[in-house]
C-alpha cells in the first residue's frame, strides 16, 4: 500500500472512528482500524455491535488493505499537519508527515470482521436534515436509563405516529419530541430502540442530510462520506402515552431565561444531605418561588409569573434537562399534581417533556432560614 492523504481530514476521520467504538476491547483486532487504499482511502472500525466506515479523498499509488492499532494512529494524526504519506514496509505500515513518523504493526485485513453480520432487508428508508436528527437525539439523550439497569430503556425509541416521534425514559423521567415525518418514515418498526452509545455517536458526528435505513435488527445512518451501522436493542418499548396525563393541567407561565438561571442557581447547592437534588416550587398568581437546601445553607429565587397557586417538588437534574430542550421567550409549567410537571413553551407542540414530581413539601424547620 502506498498513498498520500490530507492530514486534517485523516485526523478528523480517525477521531470519528474512535468515538464509534469502545476505548478498550478484549479482542485485539477490534481495537484496530482497517485501512483500504483503492479509489481513495476507506477507514473501517467495528466492535461487532456497531460498524463505522468513512471514505476519504487521497492519492493512491499502490492499492492495499491492512489493519493497524487505532488509538496510536489517531494520536499521531492529530499532531501533524500538511499531508500524511502511507506506505507498507513488510509487516508494518508507516505514516509520515513533515519530520514526524509512525510505524505500526499491521494485521492481515482478512482477520478484520466482515460486514456480513451488518446486512439485512431494511423496512424503511428516509432522508432527514442532520440538524433535526441530531437535535431530537440530543433532546432525549439525558432521559435514557443508566447502563446495567433496564436494558430496553438504555436507548431512544423512534417510531411513526403521524409524526416522527423520539422518546426516552428511565422510569421516572420522560422526554419526547415530535417532528414532521420525512417521506418514507412511516415504515419504521414500532419497537425501534437505538442504543445509548449509538445515539451519542450519531448526534455528535452527522452533518448535512442524513440517509437513514431501519430494519428489524439494524439501523444505518449515512452522512457525508461516513456510514454508521448499529444493532438495535431487542425488546418492547413501554407505551409512553400511558404516562402522559390526559387531565386538563394547571398552567404557570414565566420568563424562560429567568427560569433557567434560577434553576441553575438553586440546583448548585441542592447537592447533598437529605434534600439532595430536590427543588421545591411554590407559586401564587403573580410570583413563583424556587427553593433548595443542603446541610448548611438554603437558597431561594423568586420570579414573576402568571398562573395558579400550587406547591410541589422535583429532581433538579430532571428540571435542568427539561429546560434545556425548551426554546422561546416564555416557559409554561403545566402541572398535573401530584404526578408530574410538563415543561414547554406556548404552542410548542414539537417538544414535550415530562418531569415526574415528588409529593413533598418544603421542610418546616427550614422556614426560619
**Dihedral sign, CA of 138, 143, 146, 150?**
negative
User: Which residue, chain included where needed, has cell 505500526?
Assistant: 104
d(CA 190, CA 159): 5
Q: Please, are residues 21 and 47 in contact by the beta-carbon 8 Å criterion?
A: yes
Parts of the chain with a pLDDT under 50: 349-350, 369
List the one residue out of 149, 147, 128 whose CA is nearest residue 200: 147
Sequence-ordered alpha helix ranges (H) in 43-164: 70-78, 130-141
d(CA 184, CA 297): 55
d(CA 144, CA 198): 12
The pLDDT of residue 210: 94
d(CA 86, CA 61): 10
Q: Please, are residues 138 and 166 in contact by the beta-carbon 8 Å criterion?
A: no
The torsion angle over the Cα atoms of residues 261, 262, 263 and 267, rounded to 10 degrees, is: 110
The pLDDT of residue 294: 77
List the one residue out of 319, 281, 277 whose CA is nearest residue 302: 281
The pLDDT of residue 336: 78
d(CA 42, CA 55): 4
CATH T-level fold of 2-116:
DNA Polymerase III; Chain A, domain 2 (3.10.150)
Question: Taking the model in full, what pTM does it have?
Answer: 0.77
Q: Please, are residues 217 and 231 in contact by the beta-carbon 8 Å criterion?
A: yes
Q: Please, are residues 177 and 351 in contact by the beta-carbon 8 Å criterion?
A: yes
Task: Name residue 298's beta-bridge partners.
Answer: 293
The pLDDT of residue 89: 86
Same fold, 2-116 and 120-241: yes
Q: Please, are residues 110 and 100 in contact by the beta-carbon 8 Å criterion?
A: no
d(CA 348, CA 345): 5
Q: Please, are residues 200 and 189 in contact by the beta-carbon 8 Å criterion?
A: no
The CATH code belonging to domain 246-366 is 3.10.150.10
Q: Please, are residues 207 and 223 in contact by the beta-carbon 8 Å criterion?
A: yes
SS3 state of residue 13: helix
The pLDDT of residue 148: 62
Distances (CA, A) of 42 to 35, 199, 208, 227: 6, 23, 20, 11
List the one residue out of 242, 213, 211, 245 whose CA is nearest residue 225: 211
Q: Please, are residues 184 and 126 in contact by the beta-carbon 8 Å criterion?
A: yes
The pLDDT of residue 358: 61
Domain ranges of the chain: 2-116, 120-241, 246-366
Q: Please, are residues 55 and 40 in contact by the beta-carbon 8 Å criterion?
A: yes
Pick the CATH number of 120-241 from 3.40.30.10, 3.10.150.10, 3.30.70.890, 3.40.190.10: 3.10.150.10
The pLDDT of residue 367: 62
Amino acid at each position: 500500500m502506498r498513498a498520500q492523504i490530507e492530514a486534517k481530514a485523516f485526523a478528523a476521520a480517525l477521531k470519528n472512528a474512535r468515538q464509534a467504538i469502545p476505548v478498550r476491547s478484549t479482542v485485539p483486532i477490534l481495537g484496530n482500524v482497517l485501512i483500504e487504499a483503492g479509489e481513495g482511502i476507506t477507514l473501517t472500525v467495528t466492535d461487532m455491535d456497531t460498524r463505522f466506515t468513512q471514505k476519504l479523498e487521497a492519492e493512491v499509488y499502490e492499492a492495499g488493505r491492512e489493519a493497524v492499532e487505532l488509538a496510536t494512529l489517531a494520536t499521531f494524526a492529530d499532531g501533524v499537519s500538511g499531508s500524511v504519506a502511507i506506505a507498507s514496509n513488510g509487516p508494518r505500515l508507516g505514516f509520515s508527515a513533515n519530520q514526524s513518523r509512525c510505524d505500526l504493526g499491521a494485521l492481515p485485513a482478512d482477520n478484520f470482521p466482515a460486514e456480513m453480520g451488518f446486512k439485512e432487508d431494511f423496512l424503511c428508508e428516509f432522508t432527514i436534515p442532520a440538524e433535526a436528527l441530531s437535535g431530537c437525539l440530543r433532546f432525549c439523550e439525558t432521559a435514557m436509563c443508566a447502563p446495567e439497569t433496564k436494558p430496553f430503556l438504555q436507548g431512544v425509541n423512534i417510531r411513526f405516529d403521524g409524526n416522527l416521534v423520539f422518546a426516552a425514559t428511565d422510569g421516572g423521567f420522560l422526554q419526547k419530541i415530535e417532528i414532521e415525518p420525512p417521506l418514507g418514515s412511516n415504515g419504521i418498526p414500532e419497537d425501534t430502540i437505538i442504543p445509548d452509545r449509538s445515539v451519542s455517536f450519531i448526534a455528535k458526528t452527522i452533518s448535512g442530510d442524513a440517509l437513514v435505513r431501519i430494519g428489524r435488527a439494524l439501523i444505518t445512518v449515512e452522512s457525508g462520506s461516513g456510514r454508521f451501522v448499529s444493532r438495535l436493542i431487542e425488546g418492547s418499548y413501554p407505551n409512553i402515552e400511558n404516562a402522559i396525563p390526559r387531565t386538563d393541567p394547571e398552567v404557570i407561565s414565566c420568563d424562560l431565561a429567568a427560569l433557567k438561571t434560577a434553576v441553575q442557581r438553586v440546583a448548585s447547592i441542592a447537592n447533598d444531605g437529605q434534600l439532595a437534588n430536590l427543588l421545591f416550587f411554590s407559586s401564587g398568581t403573580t410570583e413563583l418561588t424556587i427553593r433548595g437546601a443542603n446541610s448548611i445553607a438554603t437558597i431561594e429565587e423568586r420570579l414573576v409569573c402568571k398562573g395558579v397557586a400550587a406547591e410541589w417538588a422535583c429532581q433538579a437534574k430532571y428540571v435542568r434537562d427539561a429546560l434545556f430542550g425548551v426554546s422561546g421567550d416564555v416557559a409554561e409549567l403545566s402541572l398535573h399534581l401530584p404526578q408530574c410537571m410538563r415543561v414547554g413553551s406556548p404552542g410548542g407542540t414539537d417538544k414535550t417533556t415530562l418531569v415526574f414530581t415528588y409529593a413533598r413539601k418544603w421542610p418546616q424547620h427550614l422556614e426560619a432560614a
